[in-house]
Protein backbone atom coordinates (compact mmCIF):
# COMPACT_ATOMS: atom_id res chain seq x y z
CA UNK A 1 0.00 0.00 0.00
CA UNK A 2 1.40 3.41 -0.96
CA UNK A 3 1.44 6.27 1.55
CA UNK A 4 1.87 9.90 0.67
CA UNK A 5 4.68 12.03 2.07
CA UNK A 6 3.56 15.05 4.10
CA UNK A 7 4.43 18.75 3.91
CA UNK A 8 4.52 21.04 6.95
CA UNK A 9 2.49 24.25 7.22
CA UNK A 10 3.91 27.44 8.72
CA UNK A 11 1.54 26.88 11.69
CA UNK A 12 3.32 23.59 12.53
CA UNK A 13 0.62 21.17 11.33
CA UNK A 14 1.28 18.94 8.33
CA UNK A 15 -0.71 17.76 5.32
CA UNK A 16 -0.39 14.54 3.28
CA UNK A 17 0.81 15.78 -0.10
CA UNK A 18 -1.47 13.57 -2.19
CA UNK A 19 -5.13 13.60 -1.17
CA UNK A 20 -8.46 12.40 -2.52
CA UNK A 21 -10.87 15.02 -3.91
CA UNK A 22 -14.61 14.41 -3.97
CA UNK A 23 -16.02 17.15 -6.23
CA UNK A 24 -19.07 15.79 -8.12
CA UNK A 25 -19.20 12.63 -5.99
CA UNK A 26 -22.82 12.10 -4.89
CA UNK A 27 -23.39 11.92 -1.16
CA UNK A 28 -24.91 8.42 -1.62
CA UNK A 29 -21.59 7.03 -2.88
CA UNK A 30 -19.22 9.39 -1.05
CA UNK A 31 -18.93 7.19 2.04
CA UNK A 32 -18.16 4.09 -0.03
CA UNK A 33 -15.61 5.82 -2.29
CA UNK A 34 -13.95 7.71 0.57
CA UNK A 35 -13.76 4.43 2.50
CA UNK A 36 -12.11 2.78 -0.50
CA UNK A 37 -9.64 5.66 -0.74
CA UNK A 38 -8.72 5.33 2.94
CA UNK A 39 -8.35 1.56 2.53
CA UNK A 40 -6.08 2.22 -0.46
CA UNK A 41 -3.84 4.39 1.74
CA UNK A 42 -5.11 7.96 1.31
CA UNK A 43 -5.01 9.95 4.54
CA UNK A 44 -6.26 13.29 3.19
CA UNK A 45 -9.79 13.98 1.90
CA UNK A 46 -10.88 17.24 0.24
CA UNK A 47 -14.58 18.12 0.34
CA UNK A 48 -16.64 21.33 0.49
CA UNK A 49 -20.10 22.43 1.54
CA UNK A 50 -20.78 23.01 -2.18
CA UNK A 51 -20.18 19.35 -3.02
CA UNK A 52 -23.12 18.23 -0.87
CA UNK A 53 -21.23 15.16 0.35
CA UNK A 54 -19.75 16.19 3.72
CA UNK A 55 -22.13 13.77 5.43
CA UNK A 56 -20.93 10.78 3.39
CA UNK A 57 -17.28 11.77 3.73
CA UNK A 58 -17.65 12.13 7.49
CA UNK A 59 -19.32 8.74 7.77
CA UNK A 60 -16.33 7.11 6.06
CA UNK A 61 -13.85 8.99 8.23
CA UNK A 62 -15.66 7.90 11.39
CA UNK A 63 -15.98 4.29 10.22
CA UNK A 64 -12.34 3.96 9.11
CA UNK A 65 -9.92 1.64 10.86
CA UNK A 66 -7.49 4.56 10.83
CA UNK A 67 -7.49 6.82 13.94
CA UNK A 68 -9.03 10.26 13.39
CA UNK A 69 -5.72 12.01 14.15
CA UNK A 70 -4.09 10.13 11.26
CA UNK A 71 -6.64 11.45 8.76
CA UNK A 72 -6.69 14.95 7.29
CA UNK A 73 -10.09 16.41 6.38
CA UNK A 74 -10.57 19.67 4.47
CA UNK A 75 -13.84 21.43 3.82
CA UNK A 76 -14.69 24.90 2.52
CA UNK A 77 -16.82 27.96 3.21
CA UNK A 78 -19.23 28.72 0.37
CA UNK A 79 -19.56 32.14 -1.25
CA UNK A 80 -22.90 33.19 0.27
CA UNK A 81 -21.60 32.85 3.85
CA UNK A 82 -18.72 35.34 3.93
CA UNK A 83 -20.35 37.62 6.52
CA UNK A 84 -18.54 37.06 9.86
CA UNK A 85 -21.38 35.41 11.81
CA UNK A 86 -22.48 33.41 8.78
CA UNK A 87 -18.96 32.04 8.35
CA UNK A 88 -18.78 30.95 11.99
CA UNK A 89 -22.17 29.22 11.67
CA UNK A 90 -21.18 27.63 8.34
CA UNK A 91 -18.12 25.98 9.89
CA UNK A 92 -20.21 24.64 12.77
CA UNK A 93 -22.77 23.29 10.28
CA UNK A 94 -20.05 21.60 8.21
CA UNK A 95 -18.71 19.90 11.35
CA UNK A 96 -22.24 18.80 12.18
CA UNK A 97 -22.68 17.23 8.73
CA UNK A 98 -19.23 15.63 8.92
CA UNK A 99 -19.99 14.34 12.42
CA UNK A 100 -16.54 15.47 13.56
CA UNK A 101 -15.26 17.59 16.48
CA UNK A 102 -12.76 19.43 14.32
CA UNK A 103 -11.63 19.69 10.73
CA UNK A 104 -7.97 19.80 9.78
CA UNK A 105 -8.27 22.59 7.25
CA UNK A 106 -10.99 25.13 6.53
CA UNK A 107 -10.73 27.14 3.31
CA UNK A 108 -12.57 30.15 1.92
CA UNK A 109 -13.72 28.51 -1.34
CA UNK A 110 -13.57 31.65 -3.56
CA UNK A 111 -12.59 35.25 -2.81
CA UNK A 112 -15.50 36.64 -4.90
CA UNK A 113 -13.84 40.09 -5.11
CA UNK A 114 -17.03 41.81 -6.34
CA UNK A 115 -18.83 40.80 -3.14
CA UNK A 116 -16.09 42.40 -1.03
CA UNK A 117 -16.50 40.30 2.13
CA UNK A 118 -13.40 38.12 1.93
CA UNK A 119 -11.51 40.03 4.69
CA UNK A 120 -14.46 39.53 7.04
CA UNK A 121 -14.60 35.86 6.10
CA UNK A 122 -10.88 35.51 6.79
CA UNK A 123 -11.32 37.15 10.21
CA UNK A 124 -13.97 34.53 10.97
CA UNK A 125 -11.60 31.72 9.98
CA UNK A 126 -8.93 33.17 12.30
CA UNK A 127 -11.49 33.01 15.12
CA UNK A 128 -12.56 29.45 14.19
CA UNK A 129 -8.96 28.29 14.44
CA UNK A 130 -8.62 29.99 17.86
CA UNK A 131 -11.76 28.15 19.01
CA UNK A 132 -10.28 24.83 17.86
CA UNK A 133 -12.99 24.01 15.31
CA UNK A 134 -10.32 23.78 12.63
CA UNK A 135 -6.62 22.99 13.07
CA UNK A 136 -5.45 25.13 10.15
CA UNK A 137 -6.92 27.82 7.90
CA UNK A 138 -6.33 28.70 4.27
CA UNK A 139 -7.93 30.01 1.13
CA UNK A 140 -8.84 28.90 -2.36
CA UNK A 141 -9.23 30.83 -5.61
CA UNK A 142 -7.85 34.19 -4.47
CA UNK A 143 -6.30 36.60 -6.96
CA UNK A 144 -2.87 37.74 -5.70
CA UNK A 145 -4.08 41.23 -4.67
CA UNK A 146 -6.87 39.80 -2.49
CA UNK A 147 -4.48 37.22 -1.00
CA UNK A 148 -2.06 39.97 0.02
CA UNK A 149 -4.95 42.11 1.30
CA UNK A 150 -6.18 39.54 3.83
CA UNK A 151 -2.63 39.05 5.12
CA UNK A 152 -2.09 42.80 5.49
CA UNK A 153 -5.52 43.32 7.11
CA UNK A 154 -5.20 40.61 9.76
CA UNK A 155 -1.51 39.78 10.12
CA UNK A 156 -2.49 36.12 9.61
CA UNK A 157 -1.15 34.28 6.57
CA UNK A 158 -3.09 31.33 5.10
CA UNK A 159 -1.16 28.05 5.42
CA UNK A 160 -2.18 26.96 1.93
CA UNK A 161 -3.78 28.32 -1.24
CA UNK A 162 -5.85 25.85 -3.29
CA UNK A 163 -5.92 26.92 -6.95
CA UNK A 164 -6.48 25.46 -10.38
CA UNK A 165 -3.06 24.10 -11.37
CA UNK A 166 -1.91 21.49 -13.89
CA UNK A 167 0.76 21.30 -16.59
CA UNK A 168 -1.36 23.39 -19.00
CA UNK A 169 -1.90 26.09 -16.34
CA UNK A 170 1.07 26.33 -14.01
CA UNK A 171 0.36 29.52 -12.02
CA UNK A 172 4.00 30.61 -11.75
CA UNK A 173 3.27 34.11 -10.42
CA UNK A 174 1.09 32.84 -7.58
CA UNK A 175 3.52 30.03 -6.74
CA UNK A 176 6.36 32.55 -6.39
CA UNK A 177 4.22 34.73 -4.12
CA UNK A 178 3.28 31.69 -2.04
CA UNK A 179 6.96 30.82 -1.57
CA UNK A 180 7.67 34.38 -0.35
CA UNK A 181 4.85 34.11 2.23
CA UNK A 182 5.58 30.46 3.25
CA UNK A 183 2.16 29.43 1.88
CA UNK A 184 1.89 25.92 0.43
CA UNK A 185 0.39 25.60 -3.05
CA UNK A 186 -2.42 23.07 -3.55
CA UNK A 187 -3.66 22.04 -7.00
CA UNK A 188 -7.29 21.52 -7.79
CA UNK A 189 -8.01 19.94 -11.13
CA UNK A 190 -4.49 18.49 -10.99
CA UNK A 191 -5.26 16.20 -13.95
CA UNK A 192 -6.91 19.02 -15.90
CA UNK A 193 -10.40 17.83 -14.90
CA UNK A 194 -10.59 15.66 -18.04
CA UNK A 195 -11.39 18.88 -20.00
CA UNK A 196 -8.32 18.82 -22.25
CA UNK A 197 -6.02 16.39 -24.02
CA UNK A 198 -3.46 16.66 -21.18
CA UNK A 199 -3.34 12.91 -20.49
CA UNK A 200 -2.85 12.22 -24.23
CA UNK A 201 -0.15 14.86 -24.67
CA UNK A 202 2.88 13.13 -26.27
CA UNK A 203 5.30 14.64 -23.73
CA UNK A 204 3.26 13.08 -20.92
CA UNK A 205 2.64 9.75 -22.65
CA UNK A 206 6.32 9.52 -23.67
CA UNK A 207 7.51 10.01 -20.08
CA UNK A 208 4.86 7.55 -18.90
CA UNK A 209 6.05 4.88 -21.36
CA UNK A 210 9.69 5.42 -20.32
CA UNK A 211 8.82 4.85 -16.65
CA UNK A 212 6.23 2.10 -17.11
CA UNK A 213 3.73 4.47 -15.47
CA UNK A 214 0.38 5.90 -16.55
CA UNK A 215 -0.09 9.48 -17.84
CA UNK A 216 -2.09 10.40 -14.72
CA UNK A 217 0.75 9.15 -12.51
CA UNK A 218 3.27 11.24 -14.46
CA UNK A 219 1.17 14.39 -14.07
CA UNK A 220 0.67 13.78 -10.34
CA UNK A 221 4.39 13.02 -9.84
CA UNK A 222 5.14 16.37 -11.52
CA UNK A 223 2.99 18.19 -8.91
CA UNK A 224 4.70 16.32 -6.09
CA UNK A 225 8.17 17.07 -7.48
CA UNK A 226 7.31 20.78 -7.30
CA UNK A 227 6.33 20.47 -3.60
CA UNK A 228 2.68 21.05 -4.50
CA UNK A 229 -0.19 19.35 -2.66
CA UNK A 230 -2.53 17.61 -5.14
CA UNK A 231 -6.03 16.20 -4.68
CA UNK A 232 -6.99 14.15 -7.75
CA UNK A 233 -10.54 12.89 -7.96
CA UNK A 234 -11.73 9.59 -9.35
CA UNK A 235 -14.84 7.54 -8.79
CA UNK A 236 -13.17 4.47 -10.35
CA UNK A 237 -11.61 2.15 -7.73
CA UNK A 238 -8.63 1.14 -9.90
CA UNK A 239 -7.84 4.81 -10.64
CA UNK A 240 -8.13 5.75 -6.97
CA UNK A 241 -5.29 3.25 -6.32
CA UNK A 242 -3.39 4.23 -9.49
CA UNK A 243 -3.37 7.92 -8.55
CA UNK A 244 -1.97 7.29 -5.06
CA UNK A 245 0.78 5.10 -6.50
CA UNK A 246 2.17 8.22 -8.20
CA UNK A 247 3.96 8.90 -4.89
CA UNK A 248 6.39 6.10 -5.88
CA UNK A 249 7.28 7.63 -9.26
CA UNK A 250 10.51 9.64 -9.38
CA UNK A 251 10.70 11.88 -12.45
CA UNK A 252 14.10 12.97 -13.72
CA UNK A 253 15.05 16.68 -13.90
CA UNK A 254 14.67 16.41 -17.69
CA UNK A 255 11.15 14.94 -17.33
CA UNK A 256 10.16 17.79 -15.02
CA UNK A 257 11.66 20.42 -17.33
CA UNK A 258 9.79 18.95 -20.33
CA UNK A 259 6.45 19.12 -18.46
CA UNK A 260 7.28 22.66 -17.27
CA UNK A 261 7.33 23.60 -20.98
CA UNK A 262 3.64 22.63 -21.41
CA UNK A 263 2.34 25.77 -19.64
CA UNK A 264 -0.14 27.73 -21.81
CA UNK A 265 -1.47 31.28 -21.42
CA UNK A 266 -4.97 30.01 -22.22
CA UNK A 267 -4.68 26.79 -20.21
CA UNK A 268 -7.24 27.67 -17.54
CA UNK A 269 -10.12 25.14 -17.48
CA UNK A 270 -12.27 26.61 -14.70
CA UNK A 271 -13.47 30.05 -13.56
CA UNK A 272 -11.08 32.97 -13.19
CA UNK A 273 -11.12 33.89 -9.45
CA UNK A 274 -10.99 37.60 -10.33
CA UNK A 275 -14.26 37.28 -12.27
CA UNK A 276 -16.23 34.78 -10.16
CA UNK A 277 -19.37 36.50 -8.87
CA UNK A 278 -21.50 33.92 -7.03
P1 LIG B 1 -9.12 16.31 -11.60
O2 LIG B 1 -8.05 17.04 -12.35
O3 LIG B 1 -8.77 15.59 -10.36
O4 LIG B 1 -9.78 15.36 -12.69
C5 LIG B 1 -10.71 14.40 -12.32
C6 LIG B 1 -11.07 13.61 -13.56
O7 LIG B 1 -9.90 13.09 -14.17
C8 LIG B 1 -11.92 12.41 -13.20
O9 LIG B 1 -13.28 12.75 -13.15
C10 LIG B 1 -11.60 11.44 -14.32
O11 LIG B 1 -12.38 11.76 -15.44
C12 LIG B 1 -10.16 11.76 -14.63
N13 LIG B 1 -9.20 10.85 -13.97
C14 LIG B 1 -8.97 10.70 -12.63
N15 LIG B 1 -8.00 9.78 -12.43
C16 LIG B 1 -7.63 9.34 -13.66
C17 LIG B 1 -6.69 8.39 -14.10
N18 LIG B 1 -5.91 7.73 -13.24
N19 LIG B 1 -6.57 8.19 -15.43
C20 LIG B 1 -7.33 8.88 -16.31
N21 LIG B 1 -8.24 9.80 -15.96
C22 LIG B 1 -8.39 10.02 -14.63
O23 LIG B 1 -10.31 17.37 -11.36
P24 LIG B 1 -11.26 17.78 -10.15
O25 LIG B 1 -12.02 16.64 -9.61
O26 LIG B 1 -12.04 18.94 -10.62
O27 LIG B 1 -10.24 18.28 -9.04
C28 LIG B 1 -9.80 17.46 -7.99
C29 LIG B 1 -10.34 17.92 -6.67
O30 LIG B 1 -10.02 19.28 -6.44
C31 LIG B 1 -11.87 17.89 -6.60
O32 LIG B 1 -12.40 16.62 -6.44
C33 LIG B 1 -12.10 18.82 -5.43
O34 LIG B 1 -11.86 18.14 -4.21
C35 LIG B 1 -11.05 19.89 -5.67
N36 LIG B 1 -11.57 21.05 -6.44
C37 LIG B 1 -11.57 22.27 -5.84
C38 LIG B 1 -12.02 23.39 -6.52
C39 LIG B 1 -12.01 24.71 -5.84
O40 LIG B 1 -12.64 25.64 -6.35
N41 LIG B 1 -11.33 24.86 -4.71
C42 LIG B 1 -12.49 23.27 -7.85
C43 LIG B 1 -12.49 22.01 -8.45
C44 LIG B 1 -12.01 20.93 -7.75
Query: Is 216 domain-assigned?
Result: yes
Q: What is the mean pLDDT of residues 25-49?
A: 97
Write the pLDDT tens digit of every residue in 162-197: 999 999 999 999 999 999 999 999 999 999 999 999
134, 102 in Cβ contact below 8 A?
yes
The residue contributing the CA closest to ligand 1 atom 15 is 234
190, 226 in Cβ contact below 8 A?
no
pLDDT at residue 77 greater than cutoff 80: yes
Q: What is the mean pLDDT of residues 143-172?
A: 98
Query: Is 58 domain-assigned?
Result: yes
CA atoms within 13 A on the CB side of 108: 35
The residue contributing the CA closest to ligand 1 atom 34 is 21
Q: Which of 37, 78, 163, 191 to mutate to test the pocket of ligand 1 (most atoms within 8 A of CB)?
A: 191
Question: Among the options 51, 106, 118, 168, which is catalytic?
Answer: 51
- Show Cβ contacts of residue 104 under 8 Å, excluding neighbours closer than 6 positions: 13, 15, 71, 72, 73, 74, 134, 135, 136
Query: Is 271 domain-assigned?
Result: no
Higher-pLDDT residue of 58 and 2 is 58
Q: Which of 160, 194, 215 to mutate to test the pocket of ligand 1 (most atoms within 8 A of CB)?
A: 194
Query: Is 47 domain-assigned?
Result: yes
Among 231, 239, 249, smallest CA distance to 36 is for 239
pLDDT at residue 26 greater than cutoff 90: yes
- Show Cβ contacts of residue 84 under 8 Å, excluding neighbours closer than 6 positions: 120, 121, 123, 124
Q: What string of DSSP letters covers 236-247?
A: SHHHHHHHHGGG
225, 263 in Cβ contact below 8 A?
no
CA distance 22 to 18: 13
* 234 Cα: distance to centroid of ligand 1 (angstroms): 7
Pocket lining: 54 vs ligand 1, CB cutoff 6 Å: no
pLDDT at residue 110 greater than cutoff 80: yes
Number of domains in the chain: 1
Pocket lining: 19 vs ligand 1, CB cutoff 6 Å: no
pLDDT at residue 248 greater than cutoff 80: yes
Q: In the prediction, which pLDDT does 190 show?
A: 98
Q: What CATH number does the domain containing 86 carry?
A: 3.20.20.100
Q: What is the mean pLDDT of residues 114-127?
A: 98
Query: Is 270 domain-assigned?
Result: no
Q: What is the mean pLDDT of residues 194-206?
A: 96
Q: Which pTM does this prediction carry? A: 0.98
pLDDT at residue 4 greater than cutoff 80: yes
CA distance 31 to 35: 6
Q: In the prediction, which pLDDT does 7 show?
A: 98
**Tally of CB atoms within 10 A around 124:** 26
Query: Is 217 domain-assigned?
Result: yes
- Beta strands, E only, the chain: 6-8, 14-16, 20-21, 44-46, 72-77, 103-108, 134-140, 160-164, 184-188, 229-230
57, 30 in Cβ contact below 8 A?
yes
Q: In the prediction, which pLDDT does 1 show?
A: 84
Query: Is 265 domain-assigned?
Result: no
What share of the chain has pLDDT > 90, as a percent?
98
Q: In the prediction, which pLDDT does 277 show?
A: 76
What is the extent of the structural domain holding 129? 6-260
* Beta-ladder partners of 188: 164
Query: Is 224 domain-assigned?
Result: yes
Q: Is 51 a catalytic residue?
A: yes
pLDDT band at 151 (very low <50, low <70, confident <90, very high): very high
38, 63 in Cβ contact below 8 A?
no
Q: What is the mean pLDDT of residues 57-77?
A: 98
Amino acid sequence: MSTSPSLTFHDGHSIPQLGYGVYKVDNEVAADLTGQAIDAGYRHIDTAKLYGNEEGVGRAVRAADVPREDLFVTTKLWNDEHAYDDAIAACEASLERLGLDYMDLYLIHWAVPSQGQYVEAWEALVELQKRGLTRSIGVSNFPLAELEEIIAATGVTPVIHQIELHPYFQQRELREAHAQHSILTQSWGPLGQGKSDLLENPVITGIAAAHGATPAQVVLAWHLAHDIVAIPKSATPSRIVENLESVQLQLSPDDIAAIDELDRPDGRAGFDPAQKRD
